Amino acid sequence: MKRIYILLFSLVLISCGKSEKNAETAKKQVANDNSITITQSQFGSEKMELGTLTEQSFNKTVKTNGMIDVPPQNRANVSAFLSGYVKRTPLLVGDKVKKGQLVVTLENTEFIEIQQQFLEISEQLNYLKSEFERQQTLYNEKITSQKNFLKAESTYKTSLASYNGLQKQLQMMNMNPTSVAQGNISSTINIYAPIDGYVTKVYASNGAYISSSNPIVEIINTDHIHLELSVFEKDILKIKKGQQINFKVPEASNKVFKAEVHLVGTSIDTSRTITVHGHIENEETINFVTGMFVEAEIIIDAKKGQALPKDAVLEIGNNYFALILNNQKDGNYTFNKVKLDVGENNESYLEILNTEDFENKKILTKGSFMLHLENE
């Protein structure tokens, strides 16, 4: 019986010893999961770097998009007062033009008819004026009837109105009424550039018939360009004049440009957005093209906070970690993995809220991701 008790007691001791050993092994494994040791050679070859928390700026923004545009007065769709056939169009897309430069020459027999009408009335007007003045004198002297006087007055004033109307039409056709009155009649009219700028569109070619309602060329003056952004109505109360805008032209460059909110629209369009007008910083030094698509962020608030570079942060599942230098001895580096409580973020940094865990600590700011992969 004593042998049985001794045997059972021995088995219990062995079992307890194994349990303690397993617990110790598990404890070491947990410790190993939270610490990583590397050599000086590894540290150098992976170009790892140590650093500390730094103060960074974090912005609250409204994301939006839009385009590069020009003010309405800097854009001109050139058209003709009357329809006609294109006889000459010397401009190509990209050509620079000055205000008053020839854009297109049109031809139409209707131009001749207007000039003929003006010339005929011009010739008659002197006679009708003299007759009106003569009848007025006779009427005042009781020599002629009121009927004759009123008829002469009506004929003269009607012709004068027609003369003035045709004169205005000739001026709108860029023709000189004085020259036409001298008998110089032409079947063509010239259309001139109303502004300085560049030709961005040409809608007609030689021989084409152009209606008076259709544009012939588009000219844009890029001396002043701006942003036209579309902001959803849920965000519009956050937007104020003077706020900074950071924007990119994603199809052309990754560079971030700056602008400032200049005007905020007062009506919502059918897409439930409001237009925000922004002035671009140093616009004269940047070769933007009208119509370029932009992605923008309007800064509505800003704050400063302690932060780590995004390269220093490990994202594991829904948690964030950083590696703190625990020990540097015998050419080896030992790092502990510490959980982060994160706040705002910007393009390069992540705000750290649990800063007390990192006071006077050196943090692996470069190479964390590679080190984590090697120890997976």
CATH class as words, domain 34-56+305-374: mainly beta
| Cα–Cα dist 160/125, whole Å | 7
Q: What is the mean pLDDT of each run of 10 residues along the chain (376 residues)?
A: 43 44 37 73 86 91 95 93 92 94 94 94 90 88 86 92 94 93 93 95 92 92 94 94 95 91 93 94 86 95 92 90 89 90 90 92 82 55
Could you please report the per-residue DSSP string of 311-342?
A: GG-EEETTEEEEEEEEEEETTEEEEEEEEE-E
Neighbours of 114 (CB within 10 A): 19
| Cα–Cα dist 28/22, whole Å | 10
The pLDDT assigned to 370 comes to 61
Tokens for 89, please give them: 């169009």
| Cα–Cα dist 113/191, whole Å | 19
pTM for the whole structure? 0.66
Angle between helices 109-140 and 146-172 (to 10 degrees): 150
Q: In Å, how far from its chain's centre is CA 67?
A: 3
Could you tell me which CATH number the domain at 75-105+187-220 has?
2.40.50.100
Could you tell me which CATH number the domain at 61-73+221-303 has?
2.40.30.170
